[in-house]
Homo-oligomer: A and B are copies of this chain.
Amino acid sequence: MDNTKIPKPTIKRLAVYHRCLENMVISGVASVSSNDLAERLGIKASQVRKDLSYFGEFGKRGVGYSTKHLLDSISEILGIRKKWKTCIVGMGNLGMALANYPGLENSGFISKALFDNNPNKIGIPMPNDLVIESTEVLEEIVKKRQIEIGVITVPANAAQIIADLLADAGVKGIVNFAPIRLTLPPGISNEEIDISVSFRSLAFNMTFGSSRKGRRA
């Protein structure tokens, strides 16, 4: 597969298809057409077909796909079968929410360390036999536990410092919740999550359309 040609929006949609197909498999839906998937997700069927075409043909037009087979194929494409070792840096409310969110572990992202710089938080017991540890020992622990992904949930003014620490410690990916754009060395993948973007998108829909379905009809 020539992955250099896959646009980022397609990658994002594949992750969304994956989530939807998981639910369909759990619900016992055996087959699915691109129209079904499009309808469930509010995306054009032509877009769904185009996205899936990057990876060759999973099914036949008019016949549909095996839900399970399509899920497996997308899982493989997205690297979801692999378990990823993660750490969360910044155990405020958001860090706590992520450490307690079963959806991440179910998706293969396993917390192996939780860090904070507040001495009052260090030592607090957390799920999965973890305790909150000091950012002073971040580099050592990330190396020792072979952590691959760092999740940054510190305030904006500390985020770049933490990103540098994580990069030095050898992580290969960073998920950044702090509202600043990080500068990272080459070879480190980066996802920025800005929750206010979703609120703005909602505000747009409320201003200009009644609802997604309504606006598309």
Contact = CB atoms under 8 A, between A and B. Distances in A.
Contacts of A77: 204
Interface string A64-102: 000000000000011110101000000011101110110
A144 interface: no
A125 to B, nearest CB: 15
A205 interface: yes
Counted per complex, copies of this chain come to 2
Given A175-B198, A196-B107, A204 B93 contact: no
A212 B201 CA distance: 24
A83 B108 CA distance: 39
Interface string A183-217: 01011111101111111111111111111111110
Interface of A is mostly: helix
A145 interface: no
A14 interface: yes
Interface residues of A, number: 75
B107 A97 contact: no
Given A103-B196, A104-B195, A107-B196, A15 B207 contact: no
A4 B216 CA distance: 7
Question: What 6 A-B pairs have minimum CB-CB distances, sorted nearest first?
Answer: A79-B207, A93-B97, A3-B208, A15-B200, A94-B97, A189-B205
Interface of A: 1, 3-4, 6, 8-9, 11-12, 14-16, 18-19, 23, 40, 42-43, 77-80, 82, 84, 92-94, 96-98, 100-101, 103-104, 106-109, 148-149, 172-173, 175, 179, 181, 184, 186-191, 193-216
19 contacts: A8-B42, A15-B200, A19-B179, A23-B181, A77-B204, A80-B200, A82-B203, A84-B199, A94-B97, A94-B101, A107-B200, A149-B202, A187-B214, A188-B211, A189-B202, A189-B211, A191-B198, A191-B199, A193-B198
